[in-house]
Structure 1
Amino acid sequence: MVRETQSNKNAYKANQATSDDYSETGYDRGHLNPSSFQCGELRIATFTLTNAVPMDACFNRNQWWKWEKTLRTFLRDTLNSDFGSATVYIVTGTVPNEYLSIPQREISEEPGRVTVPSPQCFHKY
């Protein structure tokens, strides 16, 4: 994993989002694979922008954080009750909103590089 720097940012822009794409947009870089579900170097890897999706900052820091915490506790308790023998697979993703992307034209010379997910992807099933 290579950290984004000023010198390599332009190379990354050709293939993925950069930190600048999220700047001043009102969106957090929401984790698809939550960092709190990982340990050590695996946790560090969750902070890459290839594991991020634009998420409303208030929603990410409040409701989504509570949901991740609840799910992590449930999984930990379930695995402990199975003496650690269970395997868990969590599949995540988003549904792109064809009408909304960041950064906005008013704040960027390169607008619309990152698609914001549709609200339907946040439903609990």
Structure 2
Amino acid sequence: MRLQSQLCFFACILLPCLTEVTEFKNCKEFFIRVPNINNQGEQYKQICQFYNNAVRFATLYDTKRRIPVYSAYVFEDVSCQEPRPTPTWMIEPQLVDEKLQKNMMTAGQLKNPAVMQSQAVIEDYENSGFDKGHLVPVCHRSSKDSKISTFTLTNAVPQNPSFNRGKWRVQETELKAYIMKNCQKDQNNKPLAKLITGAIPGNNWVKVDRVNIPSRMWSAFTCVVNNTNVVFANIADNNQTSNLKEISLTDLKNELKKHYNIDIFPFP
């Protein structure tokens, strides 16, 4: 693919799985530029996603649309052969009340009806016709714990099944292959790349205004290739006939401005 040179949860009954609704400055390692979204009201929540006492990625969550705006993460060396887990999908207690514990749990464990006001729950996806589409994909995670950490509904959006299992999954696999082959590696021979995947809200909802169905999905990454910082971004409609297309950072920023009135853009 063409690159533009530019600067640029398994149920937590057995293991602690900590998530903190906080500020991105506390998990800034996942960002190229930490967006200034503090004091922007209650709709958007910054989440440093922890699992088993380690921070795994960061998510900006829209509590009104009940979907993540995006999740940011560092690519992990995926040479290990850990199988894809099938854990219980979790919710975030601190979106209900920031005084609640950091441990993720199922909505049934929390037993608080207010959980449905702040976020999606598993019942929203049942018989909806949509996949629970990961923003941080399992295939970009290495260890078992890291893979399990992606199974939180704060990291998922309603995706068209044909798109999610087809061209979107293909691009995740191809991106992984590119990063493994081309991006600069650290002293342990692990590739160094930062990625962010997001959703653009649409006009349709799951189950009468419960969870917004994104109209489009986008993804971007940056790394050093041959001593040059490169960045690549693509975007696609969230439907079964969609084709991904490359998009410049300027065009992506302008697209996001149409839907959000806050500084969410994570690239300089």
Q: After TM superposition, what 4+ stretches of structure 1 lie above 4 angstroms from structure 2?
A: none
Distance in 2 (CA, whole Å) between partners of 1:117 and 1:50 is 14
Q: What does residue range 5-84 of structure 1 map to in structure 2 within 5 Å?
A: 5-8=107-110, 10-38=113-141, 39-79=143-183, 82=185, 84=189
Residues matched between the structures, number: 116
Flag the 1:85–1:28 CA change in 2: closer, same or farther, 3 A: closer
Using structure 1 for the length normalisation, give the TM-score. 0.79
Q: CA RMSD in A?
A: 2.2
Q: TM-score, normalised by structure 2?
A: 0.39
Residue 118 of structure 2 aligns to a residue whose secondary structure is coil
Structure 1 pair 78–68 and aligned structure 2 pair: CA distance change class (3 A): same
Cα deviation 1:77-107 (Å, max 9, x = unaligned): 224x74636521112211111x20102xxxx
Could you tell me which runs of 5 or more consecutive residues in structure 1 were left unpaired when the two chains were aligned.
104-110
Work out which of the two has the higher radius of gyration on C-alpha atoms and give 1 or 2. 2
Query: Which protein is richer in helix relative to its size?
Result: 1
Measure the CA separation in 1 of the matches of 2:191 and 2:217: 30
Q: Secondary structure at the match of 1:74?
A: helix
- Give runs of aligned pairs for residues 95-114 of structure 1, distance below 5 A: 95-97=200-202, 99-103=203-207, 111-114=208-211
Identity of aligned residues (%): 31
Partner of residue 106, structure 2? 4
